[in-house]
């Protein structure tokens, strides 16, 4: 019993302090901003102007990985029971009030909650059971191929130009 209470406290404290969590449902993990409210992480998204959510359906589970706010490394990983909140329900209203306070740079701050009710999904990610082991490896995705590059050979004239500047400074 004590281990479960400590696990829940660790999940809550780590998730509250992290501004970003990684959530994996049916598909790749996605970084999501969230709020911790009444024993669960809550996220909003899947609509224009908001974060894309991973494929999550009510009644399923998701894997949540919490990162350190200061160092960015993985702190803890836990399994969450997923449920979608019904727009304008009592639970939805209390969560959206919290989410609205953390939403940065909203283009429509006055009508944001109505837009969320019409177009977005608000999900509750409630810790289930206990802490899971952290995934192995970096989990970094390979960058997409692109013709853009930042590495080029040093121009042939550059060493002479830099040397000429140093000579001028030395003569002064």
Write down the number of H helices and E strands in the chain: 4, 7
* 44 falls within a domain: yes
Range of the domain at 98: 2-135
Tokens of 89: 């329900």
* 126 falls within a domain: yes
Is pTM beyond 0.85? Reply is no
Category of 27 on φ-ψ map: left (φ > 0), alpha (ψ -120 to 50) or beta: left
* 146 falls within a domain: no
The Cα 56–Cα 148 span in angstroms is 34
* 155 falls within a domain: no
* 161 falls within a domain: no
| Residue 122: Cβ within 10 Å count | 23
Q: What is the pLDDT of residue 110?
A: 83
* 168 falls within a domain: no
H runs (alpha helix) in the chain: 2-17, 90-102, 112-119, 158-171
Looking at the structure of the chain, the number of domains it has is 1
* 141 falls within a domain: no
* 150 falls within a domain: no
Q: Are the CB atoms for 106 and 47 separated by under 8 Å?
A: no
Check which CATH number belongs to the domain holding 46 and give it.
2.30.110.10
Cβ contacts of residue 53 below 8 Å, gap of 6+? 23, 30, 32, 43, 45, 46, 121, 123
Digit-by-digit pLDDT tens for the chain (172 residues) are: 578 888 888 899 999 999 899 999 888 889 999 999 999 999 999 998 899 999 899 999 999 999 888 887 888 999 999 999 999 999 999 999 999 988 888 878 789 999 999 999 999 999 987 677 776 676 666 777 777 776 777 778 877 888 777 777 777 6
């Amino acid at each position: 019993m004590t281990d479960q209470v400590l696990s829940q406290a660790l999940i809550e404290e780590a998730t509250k302090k992290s501004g970003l969590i990684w959530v994996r449902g049916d598909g790749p993990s996605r970084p999501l901003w969230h709020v911790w409210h009444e024993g669960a992480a809550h996220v909003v998204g899947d609509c224009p102007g908001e974060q894309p959510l991973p494929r999550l359906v009510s009644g399923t589970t998701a894997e949540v990985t919490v990162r350190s706010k200061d160092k960015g490394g993985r702190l803890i990983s836990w399994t969450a029971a997923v449920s979608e909140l019904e727009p304008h329900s009592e639970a939805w209203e209390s969560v959206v009030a919290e989410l609205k306070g953390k939403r940065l740079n909203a283009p429509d701050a006055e009508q944001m909650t109505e837009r969320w009710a019409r177009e977005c999904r608000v999900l509750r990610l409630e810790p289930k059971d206990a802490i899971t082991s952290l995934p192995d490896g970096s989990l970094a995705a390979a960058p997409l191929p692109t013709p853009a590059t930042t590495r080029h050979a040093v121009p042939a004239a550059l060493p002479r130009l830099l040397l000429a500047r140093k000579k001028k400074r030395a003569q002064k």
